[in-house]
A and B are shown apart, each in its own frame.
Chain A
């Protein structure tokens, strides 16, 4: 059995049925990474010895007649802000290289490991997760596997690109303002930003604690649901972890969309983007038979509040280093972190109060709507280094604008799943599905329907 391009469920089934060993899967994966990653720069560390040891444990468990778990022998990799025992948690920075290696894995890494998955490495990202491009000055930019002249997106760019390129079937990232969804859109893969507090962040280097989420990337809805179901649940070691009982998504994947109330986000979600992103939304809406439109209130203020909270919390976290060694920050993030230190306390508190107001308005909308459909990004993947573009309202700075459609939903912690719409002869584009808190299963039903219809899919690049 060849491993190239196989999905997680397929690999796990083959390993469990002894058609291939976990060790063979790991060796094939390491060979693929060695061959393809130098041109893409997804990985900042490859944990070959650990992966080989874990794979042997999975094989031994199967030989002993034990249940190796639903992800038996499935290779995965994580953004390099997840603690990995024995590796220094870089969080995309140069400064953190001085830190000692992590003593244990992050909770999410342990959860996948308990399910039989095998960690093969750590992935590139924007420094301290502040950015949408993974044009990391310390580790080099991650290239988009669908067009290497283009950016992978960020801040979880290595995660999205590694999955799109077929280096791993599953990867983990984090999302504060769009850092899972933006790179997934650019690289043309499925990805989920779960409800705030749904997946443990214990052992993850934070960026802005009010908004940080952990979530998975995959090339199919089935693999994404498999990963999410493994990850979700309460963890007392994460202070914001929800006590809401886990709600498995995989059993509902093929439940269809009958009875679901779907709507297109109108108003601000139909502005400030390339026409092709609205065309992608319209294709998805037409396939789902949706013509209802809903206008969300005060979206520009939601974005403004999210920006203030993010900048302020991020600057606070790194204030000591900003005071004493600002020159060692990535020039792509340094000025933004420094500026965040000057946000007045009154503005920060006002933003957190507005957040409560906006959450209540969106709760009201999601009592009437089950899934809202929006673009994920305002354009397809830009060129590496592209700084300015006219997206309808005159030329603007492109990089901060890439989260224009994702930011309002992470601001209030709603679950959002981006599906890749592939277009013949053109780069893929993400379409974002958003639901009420803890309604991830509903998102999967809609995403699965789009996948089954052949509209959303994620081939290996």
Chain B
């Protein structure tokens, strides 16, 4: 994944980053487990 976005995590930071990535993936899993109707659109504000 890091290679895909051109981001190499220094080994010195890897444990810390892995900890936070783990939390984010848990958050993603919690959200993925919630049923949203197909009609629910994303909420970012964008005015053309």
Interface positions of A (Cβ within 8 A of B): 196-197, 210, 239-240, 298, 300-301, 303-305, 307-308, 311, 319, 322-323, 326-327, 334-336, 338-344, 346-347, 349-357, 359
Assess the B30–A304 pair: CB atoms within 8 A: yes
Select from chain B the residue with minimum beta-carbon distance to A352: B42
Residues of B that sit less than 8 Å from A by CB: 1-2, 5-10, 13, 16-17, 19-21, 23-28, 30-32, 34, 36, 40-45, 47
| Contact call B31/A308, Cβ cutoff below 8 A | yes
Does the CB pair A301–B5 fall under 8 Å? no
- CB distance A210 to B44 under 8 Å? yes
Partner of B24, one of A339, A353, A359: A339
Q: Is the CB of A353 within 8 A of B36?
A: yes
> What is the CA–CA distance of A246 and B17 in the complex, to the nearest angstrom?
43
Cβ contact of A307, chosen from B13, B24, B43, B47, cutoff 8 A: B24
Contact, CB under 8 Å: A357 / B40: yes
Q: Is the CB of A322 within 8 A of B43?
A: no
Do B10 and A301 have beta carbons less than 8 Å apart? no
- For the A-B complex, the count of residue pairs with Cβ-Cβ distances under 8 Å equals 104
Q: Which of B28, B34, B42 contacts A344 (CB 8 A)?
A: B28
Question: Beyond the given A304-B31, A338-B9, A339-B20, could you list 4 further A-B residue pairs with CB under 8 A, ordered by the A residue number?
Answer: A239-B47, A311-B24, A343-B24, A350-B36
Known: A307-B24, A342-B21. A347 touches B7 (CB 8 A): no
Residues in A with CB closer than 8 Å to B8 are: 323
- B23–chain A nearest beta-carbon distance, Å: 8
Verify A355–B27 contact, CB threshold 8 A: no
How far, in Å, is B29 (CB) from chain A's closest CB? 9
- Tell me the minimal C-beta distance from B21 to chain A in angstroms: 5
Known contacts A338-B7, A342-B21: A356-B27 contact under CB 8 Å: no
Chain A residues closer than 8 Å to B43, beta-carbon distance: 210, 352-353, 355-356, 359
| A197 vs chain B, min Cβ distance (A) | 7
Q: Roughly how many angstroms separate A351 CA and B34 CA in the complex, as a whole number?
A: 11
Residue of B nearest to A320 (CB): B6
Q: Are A342 and B16 in contact (CB under 8 A)?
A: no
Once bound together, how far apart are the Cα atoms of A210 and B44, in whole Å? Answer: 6
28 pairs from A and B in contact (CB 8 Å cutoff) = A197-B45, A300-B30, A303-B27, A304-B30, A304-B31, A307-B23, A311-B20, A319-B5, A322-B7, A326-B10, A334-B13, A335-B13, A335-B17, A335-B19, A338-B9, A338-B13, A338-B20, A339-B23, A340-B24, A341-B5, A347-B24, A350-B31, A353-B40, A353-B42, A354-B34, A357-B36, A357-B40, A359-B43
Top 8 nearest A-B pairs (CB, nearest first) are: A339-B20, A352-B42, A304-B27, A335-B16, A347-B28, A355-B43, A356-B43, A339-B21
